[in-house]
Amino acid sequence: MNRITGRSAFLALLKDEGITHLFGNPGTTELPIMHALAEHPDLSFVLGLQESIVVAIADGYSRASGKLVACNVHVAPGLGNALGSLYNAKFTGTPMILTAGQQEQGHGLTEPLLYHALVPMAEPLVKWAVEVTRLEDLPRIVRRAAKVATTPPTGPVFISLPGDILNATAGIDLGASTRVETRSRPADEVLARLADRILGAERPVIVAGDEIVKSDALEAAAAFAEALGAPTWQQSAPYGAHFLSERACYMGSLSRDQRHVREVLSKFDLMIVLGADPVRMSVWSEVEPLPDGLPVVHIGLVDWDMGKNFAAEMAVQADVRETLLALTPLLKQRGGERLASKAKASLAELAASNWSAKRARLVARFESRGATTPIDVDWLTLKVAEALPRDAVVVNEGLTSSRHLTDLVPYRDRYGYHGLASGGIGWGIAAATGVALAQAPRPVCCVSGDGSAMYSIQALWTAANARLPVTYVIANNGGYRIIKQRLKAFHGSDKYIGMDFADPAIDFTALARSLGVPAERIDDPAALPAVLERAFATPGPKLLDVIVDATV
């Protein structure tokens, strides 16, 4: 058996699990890995300038490719820095192997600088966390980590790598990869019960979510909805391309306003959930979003979301795409001409209120705001939507400034849109870098608020270093507008303490240039369309600092 160092074995194992990029920020305890990278030139190292940036870039890469990713951070402080981004990855079920270098076994007992037990730090946010204590166990641990991360419900895992393990040499068997096949459909009897229950509803509604992306079910979900003539809403946390926007049955995203969601859903007598956490809310309300007595049928692999807050009359754990490919023909067969006629009439009725109709009305409304100074945020969103190349990928962390982005830019493929999932800001600028790495040569547009951008602005350096085709559009209102809005709405106060950073003003163009990204400031609305068109046509990264209306 060939002898191999722990550091080289670790990288060989990652490659065999399908890893092509290692995202990282090295420190002394990670030097064995950096040393071994020279032995693995086919593994690309992507440098992020802080650990939260590293994990967010890796998260973006995975979300835009569907692939397992690996990232490496620096001992306890580095893992601490990474936890906010790891929280985001937990929310989206990103299949990720996160590792951190650790002090040599035994040395930690002396409490050296930077030491802390790493596994307890990571455990609350990952599916599995472990420290390697023998080199001979390294293959088993990495293989298990990859299997756990990629098995639905997918999610991040963590491995602590002590320095003595990485520097040791032994003859070890690297083993082989395991993937759990979960593309399963329900039993025929369950499909029959599903079909009968759905056909028994007079006014069904569909809520689609993230498993549509993970199971590649966009076309299958649209065909299912059209066969029923059922209006389809995206889940209330719209962080992915969860339905094809331009299909006749798509209505848009549910809001996170409990009263509004309850009003929307009150018209229906059955809610069909396709791979979603359908009505996840943000702030507390005394009103429940689900109308009393509305029955729920839930299909998907993430059983945690089934009946989590509201009972499901039928909860079917199966792959969304495979289930719909079997269920839709059965519905047509059992529903016959009656179902076909009903669906046709329903789709015709939806034409006046679906996503496309709403978009047309928004365009007409926003177009008149083009002379407003400072620039109107909704008009900015419209101009971005109009300038985007058809194959562009959108990353959205504009919060209040991009509130209508998904109302104007259609979802056309499962990797074409990525939004903030958890609510923890600072994800977008870095994630867009990973999205661009995964989707190159497709152009990427990242819309970010100025507050969010300052959490991860150094990710611009990574984009510049890799010469990625990303246009960063910063909606600059000089403060935390969403917090101001909530202070005013929830507390009736307009004393915005600690919510402005206009004195001194942040110069995003100077920041971007210092990190290697060309930048331009736009405060004249007349100049914006041409600037956007030029930016999307120009190779490499660039940043547009757009001064927008800060009115609360």
Task: Read off the CATH number of the domain in which 201 is found.
Answer: 3.40.50.1220
A 10 A CB-CB count for 288 gives: 15
Q: List the beta strands (DSSP E) in 398-469.
A: 417-419, 444-449
Distance in angstroms (rounded) separating the CA atoms of residues 311 and 517: 50
* Torsion angle, alpha carbons of 12, 17, 18, 24, to 10: -60
Residue 502: predicted pLDDT: 84
| 552 within domain boundaries | no
Nearest residue to 196 (alpha-carbon basis) of 303, 334, 88: 334
User: Are residue 155 and residue 21 in the same domain, yes or no?
Assistant: yes
Residue 402: predicted pLDDT: 93
User: Are residue 327 and residue 372 in the same domain, yes or no?
Assistant: no
For 219-284, the DSSP string reads HHHHHHHHHHT--EEE-SS--B--S-TTSTTEEEE--S-HHHHHHHHTT-SEEEEESS-TT--SS-
User: Are residue 104 and residue 247 in the same domain, yes or no?
Assistant: no
* Torsion angle, alpha carbons of 417, 422, 426, 430, to 10: -40
User: Are residue 310 and residue 360 in the same domain, yes or no?
Assistant: no
User: Are residue 33 and residue 56 in the same domain, yes or no?
Assistant: yes
Distance in angstroms (rounded) separating the CA atoms of residues 272 and 243: 14
User: Are residue 214 and residue 290 in the same domain, yes or no?
Assistant: yes
Q: Is 376 helix (H, G, I), strand (E, B) or coil?
A: coil
Look at the chain and count its residues: 552
| 470 within domain boundaries | yes
User: Are residue 281 and residue 380 in the same domain, yes or no?
Assistant: no
User: Are residue 473 and residue 523 in the same domain, yes or no?
Assistant: yes
Place of tokens 């969304």: 320
Distance in angstroms (rounded) separating the CA atoms of residues 534 and 378: 21
Q: At what angle do helices 377-387 and 528-537 cross, to 10 degrees?
A: 40
Cβ neighbours of residue 353 closer than 8 Å, sequence gap 6 or more: 251
43 vs 38, 250, 440, 441, 503, CA distance in Å? 9, 42, 17, 20, 45
Alpha carbon 502 to its chain centroid, in Å, reads: 30
A 10 A CB-CB count for 28 gives: 13
- Residue 437 near residue 46 (C-beta atoms within 8 A): yes
Q: Is 419 helix (H, G, I), strand (E, B) or coil?
A: strand
Give the number of domains in the chain.
3
| 464 within domain boundaries | yes
User: Are residue 377 and residue 483 in the same domain, yes or no?
Assistant: yes
Q: Is 519 helix (H, G, I), strand (E, B) or coil?
A: strand
Residue 261: predicted pLDDT: 97
Last residue of a domain, one of 320, 352, 384: 352
pLDDT along the chain (552 residues), means of 10: 91 98 95 96 97 98 98 96 97 97 91 93 98 97 98 98 96 96 96 98 98 98 98 97 98 97 97 97 95 97 96 98 98 97 97 98 96 95 98 96 96 97 94 97 97 96 98 96 91 94 94 98 97 97 97 91
| 203 within domain boundaries | yes
| 240 within domain boundaries | yes
| 80 within domain boundaries | yes
- Write b or e for each residue in 377-416: b if 16 or more Cβ atoms lie within 10 A of its Cβ, otherwise e: bbbbbbbbbebbeeebbbbbbbbbbbebbbbbbbbeebbb
| 533 within domain boundaries | yes
* Torsion angle, alpha carbons of 24, 26, 32, 38, to 10: 60
Distance in angstroms (rounded) separating the CA atoms of residues 174 and 192: 46
User: Are residue 134 and residue 237 in the same domain, yes or no?
Assistant: no
User: Are residue 308 and residue 255 in the same domain, yes or no?
Assistant: yes
pTM for the model: 0.96
User: Are residue 434 and residue 477 in the same domain, yes or no?
Assistant: yes
A 10 A CB-CB count for 354 gives: 21
- Residue 59 near residue 92 (C-beta atoms within 8 A): yes
- Residue 73 near residue 102 (C-beta atoms within 8 A): no
Q: Is 371 helix (H, G, I), strand (E, B) or coil?
A: coil
- Write b or e for each residue in 470-500: b if 16 or more Cβ atoms lie within 10 A of its Cβ, otherwise e: bbbbbbbbbbbbbbbeebeeeeeeeeeeebe
Distance in angstroms (rounded) separating the CA atoms of residues 363 and 388: 15
Residue 532 domain boundaries: 356-547
Last residue of a domain, one of 122, 144, 171: 171
Residue 172: predicted pLDDT: 94
Q: How far apart are the two ends of the chain, measured CA to CA in Å?
A: 68
Place of tokens 């040393």: 35
Place of tokens 């995203």: 253
Last residue of a domain, one of 298, 330, 352: 352
| 325 within domain boundaries | yes
Residue 1: predicted pLDDT: 64
- Residue 534 near residue 528 (C-beta atoms within 8 A): no
Q: List the beta strands (DSSP E) in 103-199.
A: 129-131, 156-162, 169-171
Cβ neighbours of residue 197 closer than 8 Å, sequence gap 6 or more: 270, 297, 313, 314
CATH code of 72's domain: 3.40.50.970
